[in-house]
Amino acid sequence: MITVRKMIFVALILLACTQSVFAQEDTSRIFIPKWKIEGHDPISRKEIEAILPPGRYTAEQIRIAIDQLLKRYEDRGYLFGRVAVQQQPDQFSLSIQEGPRVEIGLFHVHSKDASLDSAIHSGLDVRQKRSVRETLEFNVEQILTYLENNGYPFGQIAIDSLVLNRNGNSEIASLDCYLSVQPGPKVTLDSIVVRGNTTTRRAVVIREMRLKTGELYRQTRIDRSRTRLLRSGLFRQVDEPEIYLDGQGHGLLVVNVIEGNPNQLNAVLGYNPSATNQEKGYFTGLIDVAFGNLLGTGRSVEAYWQKKDRRSQELRFHYMEPWVKGYPLHLGVGFQQLIQDTSFIRRQLLLEFEVPFSDILSFNSILGREEVLPDSIGQMLYQLPQSQSWFSRWGFTYDTRNDPLNPSRGVLYQTHFEHARKRVSAAPFLVEQQVETGSFRRERWLVDLELFAPTFRWQTVMLGVHGRQVKSNEGYISISDLFRLGGTRSLRGYREEQFWGERIAWLNLEYRYLLAPRSRAFAFVDAGYFYHKDREQRVQEGYKYGYGFGLRIETRLGIVGIDYGLASGRSITSGLVHVGLTNKF
């Protein structure tokens, strides 16, 4: 294939008949205290003096500076500029003749297919860019892009001729371009070959690419297929797909991949120091195991366990079946159990649906049943009744992050709405305390936004904004329906789920220095808010702040994370330390 940019460069060099005249031809230095500049309308004196400031010059240095000045004129469309340097008894002068300004006039495109010529012409843009070179390059790239996206990946373009038109003494000249287009054979994807997949099945790779044999070659779809493979989490590296033609003219698309480690282990160990002299500190922990590519089919299984504090722990299990019956529909089932402060147990059975509309946007829905079983402490202290709920949740996810594990730019936005019908039944002594029973409506809103904006090289700012709210037509929101705030994933420097609220919000601000593709160091500031009314309609509300620093370091064992958080008002020695390990295998 010809190199279009080299061709354009040669053509413009032939047009730019520039000339410089120097008064000095030897290598001795001359001192120029000031230039007398004549005829520099398109370029200001300040720009010229930035290229040729007062000082001592050799003839070669002046020649190089003049070439830079002529390049500046060329970038603004003056291809025939001339600069003469003259030495006078008391000064040196620059005499500039910029010539006419050249603009692209017409593009004449010729190929063997008249319908193709018409389609190419409709996509051209002869509006002037910063220079003639840029205008010409832009339109040639437009033609190549059209060919690549309409089945002609082997298209070539030749510049037959360039014709300069100038009317009399007009200050503007037009340049007509005559282009010859050779589209080459029209290519369809007759076969797709995958190389490097040792575990993942070929059908799974092609399914994730969303390409079909027999379809017309389109470069944008090929580029998206590579992006989809990288975002699937199944592969560590995906080369640019390559297209070939066999002896019969059949299109053969070759995709080379290197499989990653789809399985993941997250482990976190935290220590909470004693708040008073009467109690001891204690450890918290988390184990999250996920198998992301069972038997090479793309199916995933996740098991999760977390000890949040002395008396609370959470258990989750989730299975996802991707591409049900070959359609872009992912179906999952799950089970969750929460033991909260030995006051109640909450169990959930879930049926999940996910529809990926595009590479960055997906819709998800959950249907579930929830059961809350209070123990004697929960009933006595919080007047918590037993309840059963059927609920549905809808939402979508928008994700443009360039790397899910260690992003430097992009946006992650998630929002969900949940509606539930809740059936409450209470023990006799709770009924005597006027605890409501019957059927109620409950609604929840969840919003999460994370912005990643690069600043300097290897540095980025992360801003996270999160909000939760629950409403019910009950007399008050029961403790089992409240949201929790505090800990590693929300408000660092505080204990896990230290605060409760029917409305909570938190903000995370981090300044990150990216040490490696999977490593970073950062400083953070967190802020949180919670609001709740108890049975007596007393308002519990507060604003909390935390700050600290952390590390994520990639090792042979995995990504080791260390966070040290301080709550506002606490001494530097009373912060909370969280140590985590993320391992892919």
Element (H, E) at 472: strand 459-472
Task: For residue range 406-428, list pLDDT tens digits in order.
Answer: 899 999 999 999 999 999 887 76
Contact partners, residue 226, CB within 8 Å, separation at least 6: 209, 238, 240, 241, 255
d(CA 509, CA 526): 6
Q: What is the domain-level CATH number for residue 232?
A: 3.10.20.310
Report the pLDDT value the prediction gives residue 496, as an integer from 0 to 100: 80
* 177 and 200 fall within a common domain: no
Residue 491: which H helix or E strand, with range? none
Range 80-106 average pLDDT? 79
Taking residues 436-442, what's their average pLDDT?
Answer: 87
Q: What percentage of the chain exceeds 70 in pLDDT?
A: 91
Give residue 441's identity as a one-letter amino acid code: R
CA-based nearest residue to 470, from 439, 441, 495: 441
506 and 372 within one domain: yes
84 and 215 inside one domain: no
- Same structural domain, 383 and 487: yes
- Please report which confidence band the pLDDT of residue 37 belongs to, taking 50, 70 and 90 as the band edges: confident
What is the arithmetic mean of pLDDT over 402-409?
86
Claim to verify: residue 201 and residue 301 sit in the same structural domain: no
Residue 344 Cα distances to 312, 379, 426, 443, angstroms = 10, 9, 14, 21
Task: Return the pLDDT at 559.
Answer: 81
pLDDT of residue 6: 40
Distance of CA 361 to the CA centre of its chain: 12
Please enumerate in sequence order all residues whose Cβ is within 8 A of that of 154, keeping only pairs 6 or more positions apart, or say none: 1, 184, 185, 187, 245
Full residue range of the structural domain in which residue 391 is found: 264-584
Q: Quote the pLDDT of residue 468.
A: 96
What sign results for the dihedral spanned by CA atoms 481, 483, 487, 490?
Answer: positive
Query: Helix 114-122 and helix 132-148: axis angle, to 10°?
Result: 130
Band the pLDDT of 113: cuts 50, 70, 90.
confident
Q: Is the pLDDT of residue 1 over 60?
A: no
Query: What percent of the chain shows pLDDT beyond 90?
Result: 36
pLDDT tens, position by position, 262-321: 787 777 777 777 767 777 777 878 888 888 888 888 889 999 998 877 788 889 999 999
The neighbour count for residue 555, using CB atoms within 10 Å, is 11
Do residue 341 and residue 292 come from a single domain? yes
Domain boundary among 145, 165, 182: 182
Cα–Cα distance measured from residue 22 to residue 27, given in angstroms and rounded to the nearest whole number: 12
Q: Decide if pLDDT at 191 tops 70.
A: yes
In this structure, are 522 and 407 located in the same domain? yes
Task: Report yes or no on whether pTM surpasses 0.85.
Answer: no
SS in 3 state form for 184-230?
CCCCEEEEEEEECCCCCCHHHHHHHHCCCCCCECCHHHHHHHHHHHH
Measured distance CA(120)–CA(143) in Å, rounded: 6
Q: Give the pLDDT mean for 62-88.
A: 82
Six token digits for residue 479: 């403790």
Asked whether residue 398 falls in the same domain as residue 502, the answer is: yes
What SS3 class is residue 116?
helix
Question: Between the CA of residue 304 and those of 330, 466, 482, 581, what are the distances in Å?
Answer: 20, 23, 21, 14
Number of domains making up the chain: 4
From residue 348, how far is each of 304, 376, 391, 503 by CA, in Å?
14, 21, 10, 22
Give the pLDDT band (50/70/90) at residue 510: very high
Structure tokens at 326: 């070959």
Distant-in-sequence contacts of 362-367, Cβ < 8 A, 24+ apart:
362/396, 362/397, 363/394, 363/395, 363/396, 364/394, 364/395, 364/396, 364/397, 365/392, 365/393, 365/394, 365/395, 366/391, 366/392, 366/393, 367/391, 367/392
Give the chain's count of helices (H) and strands (E): 9, 31
CA distance linking residue 52 with residue 45, whole number of Å: 10
Give me the mean pLDDT over the 245-267 stretch.
86
Residues 50 and 151 grouped into a single domain: no
